[in-house]
């Protein structure tokens, strides 16, 4: 079964700062682009993290191809520039592009986007909605759209644009626009995925975000556990090491049998490292129950030791692809 025969076409990826949500969003875009599909990866925070991941020059406000996948699929990327999006908007609804440029010189655009923090979000989500619903020759232009969204602390406010604008602009075209965006965001076409680490605070923030999203009637997708320690030892050995019961004497004979120099110091150093590895694994393992208790489909991605390059992205993408398949099969 192909990975995106699910109804979801808009994948919003959020997570606490430092959990690697940009990397996960990029890997997810690659996974969805397999088998000849076309996927748009949207960056919303203006950090050019996507360009760095794909090792391309900074992205303009324009859809650019950043990767090709097997079967002729491709990932395009777009870094949303809020000012440009507002100019687009003025042009689309009022035919005011030139006036808009003059306004920008006066600092009015900066003013308008900072005076109403929600305006920024309406413009970004408006652009995302446009990409999701864009059609050419009767077919959607993109098979899927992946959004590298703001962090968990701001995600509900970011997506809940109607509410945000309701407080500010109770009438006017922005209100109408934001209602249209909400309809897409609340539909089964959308899934908000949460990236977490197996650490206290990210797991807690993930739980909080799921509550908030649910209250706002926004569809929660999968929980993606990133940078998990993959155990190198069998579980019983790990438990013993985590309890501090592994000693140099457990390793020394085998090391000596293979004629390794270094003696007891080496055995001792290895014990220290194994103990730390085991304790890290045990600490993470304890949090797995909490992640499971969130009641969402969950996938784990390993901590990769090498540099994060296109190859590592494809490695993560392969794991996500498997997850998408089982999700679809289970649905």
Partner 1 sequence: MSAAAQPERPARATRPARPAPVAPAMDLQALITDPETRIVVCCGAGGVGKTTTSAALALAAAEAGRTVVVLTIDPARRLAQSLGLVELDNEPRRVEVPGADGELHAMMLDMKRTFDDIVTAHSTPERGQAILENPFYQTLSSSFSGTQEYMAMEKLGQLRASDQWDLIIVDTPPSRSALDFLDAPNRMSRFLDGTMIRLLTAPSRSGFKIASAGFMFFSRIISKILGGQLLRDISAFVAALDTMFGGFRERATATYELLRRPGTWFVVVATPEPDALREASYFVDRLSAEGMPLAGLVVNRTHPPATTALSATRAEGAAEEVAEAGGPGAGLAAAALRVHAERMLLATREQHLADRFTSAHPEVAVRTVPAAAGDVHDLDGLRGMADALTGADDDTPTGTPRTRVLPARRA
220-249 positions binding partner 1, by CB under 8 A:
232-233, 237
Torsion-angle region of residue 95: left (phi > 0), alpha (psi -120 to 50) or beta? left
| Beta carbon of residue 162, minimum distance to partner 1 (angstroms, whole number) | 13
62 in contact with partner 1 (CB under 8 A): no
- Tell me which of 10, 27, 39, 53 binds partner 1, using CB under 8 A: 53
Cα Rg, the chain, nearest whole Å: 23
Nearer to partner 1, 117 or 188 (CB): 117
- Tell me which of 141, 216, 294, 308 binds partner 1, using CB under 8 A: 308
70 in contact with partner 1 (CB under 8 A): no
| Beta carbon of residue 38, minimum distance to partner 1 (angstroms, whole number) | 24
Stretch that binds partner 1, among 132-140, 187-195, 269-277, 315-323 (CB under 8 A): 269-277
Please report, as residue ranges, which positions from 27 to 46 form the binding site for partner 1 (by CB under 8 A): 45-46
For the chain, report the end-to-end CA distance as a whole number of angstroms: 12
Would you state the structure tokens that stand for residue 182, as one six-digit string?
A: 């909400």
Nearer to partner 1, 40 or 122 (CB): 122
Per the CB < 8 A criterion, the answer to whether 230 and 35 are in contact is no
178 in contact with partner 1 (CB under 8 A): no
322 in contact with partner 1 (CB under 8 A): no
The number of residues that bind partner 1 (CB under 8 A) is 81
Q: What angle do CA 232, 233, 236 make, to 5 degrees?
A: 150
Distance CA 33, CA 73 (A): 5
Per the CB < 8 A criterion, the answer to whether 75 and 30 are in contact is yes
Nearer to partner 1, 217 or 273 (CB): 273
| Beta carbon of residue 167, minimum distance to partner 1 (angstroms, whole number) | 6
Distance CA 39, CA 63 (A): 11
**How many CA atoms lie less than 13 Å away from 219 in the CB half-sphere?**
17
Stretch that binds partner 1, among 67-75, 130-138, 179-187, 194-202 (CB under 8 A): 194-202
- Tell me which of 4, 11, 14, 19 binds partner 1, using CB under 8 A: 19
| Beta carbon of residue 185, minimum distance to partner 1 (angstroms, whole number) | 19
302 in contact with partner 1 (CB under 8 A): no
Would you state the structure tokens that stand for residue 203, as one six-digit string?
A: 């797991």
Nearer to partner 1, 223 or 252 (CB): 252
Please report, as residue ranges, which positions from 91 to 150 form the binding site for partner 1 (by CB under 8 A): 94, 96, 99, 103, 106-108, 111-112, 114-120, 150
Beta-strand (E) ranges in the chain? 10-15, 38-43, 64-69, 73-79, 135-136, 139-140, 144-148, 190-196, 220-228, 298-302
Listed residue (85, 81, 3) closest to 37, CA to CA: 3
Angle between helices 82-94 and 97-106 (to 10 degrees): 140
| Beta carbon of residue 311, minimum distance to partner 1 (angstroms, whole number) | 10
**Which residues are paired to 144 by β-bridges?**
39
Listed residue (217, 242, 223, 222) closest to 231, CA to CA: 242
Please report, as residue ranges, which positions from 202 to 221 form the binding site for partner 1 (by CB under 8 A): 204
283 in contact with partner 1 (CB under 8 A): yes
| Beta carbon of residue 61, minimum distance to partner 1 (angstroms, whole number) | 18
Nearer to partner 1, 116 or 141 (CB): 116
| Beta carbon of residue 117, minimum distance to partner 1 (angstroms, whole number) | 5
């Amino acid at each position: 079964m192909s990975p995106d025969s699910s109804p979801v076409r808009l994948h919003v990826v959020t997570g606490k700062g430092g959990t690697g949500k940009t990397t996960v969003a990029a890997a997810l875009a690659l996974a969805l682009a397999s088998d000849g599909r076309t996927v748009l990866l949207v960056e919303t925070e203006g950090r050019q993290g996507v360009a760095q991941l794909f090792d391309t020059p900074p992205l303009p406000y324009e859809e650019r191809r950043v990767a090709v996948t097997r079967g002729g699929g491709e990932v395009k990327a777009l870094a949303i520039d809020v000012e440009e999006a507002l100019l687009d908007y003025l042009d689309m609804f009022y035919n005011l592009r030139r006036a808009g440029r003059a306004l920008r010189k006066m600092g009015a655009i900066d003013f308008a986007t900072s005076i109403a923090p929600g305006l920024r979000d309406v413009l970004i989500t408006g652009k995302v909605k446009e990409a999701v619903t864009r059609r050419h020759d009767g077919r959607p232009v993109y098979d899927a759209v992946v959004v590298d969204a703001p962090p968990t602390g701001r995600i509900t406010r970011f997506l809940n644009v109607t509410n945000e604008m309701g407080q500010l602009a109770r009438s006017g075209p922005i209100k109408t626009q934001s209602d249209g965006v909400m309809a897409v965001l609340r539909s089964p076409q959308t899934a908000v995925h949460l990236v977490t680490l197996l650490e206290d605070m990210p797991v807690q923030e993930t739980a909080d975000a799921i509550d908030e999203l649910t209250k706002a009637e926004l569809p929660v997708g999968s929980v993606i556990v990133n940078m998990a320690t993959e155990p190198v030892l069998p579980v019983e050995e790990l438990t013993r090491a985590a309890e501090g019961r592994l000693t140099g004497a457990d390793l020394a004979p085998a090391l000596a049998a293979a004629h390794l120099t270094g003696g007891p110091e080496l055995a001792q150093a290895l014990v220290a490292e194994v103990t730390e590895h085991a304790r890290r694994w045990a600490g993470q393992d304890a949090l797995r129950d909490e992640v499971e208790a969130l009641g969402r489909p969950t996938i784990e991605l390993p901590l990769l030791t090498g540099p994060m390059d296109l190859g590592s992205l494809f490695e993560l993408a392969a794991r996500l692809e498997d997850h998408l398949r089982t999700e679809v099969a289970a649905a």
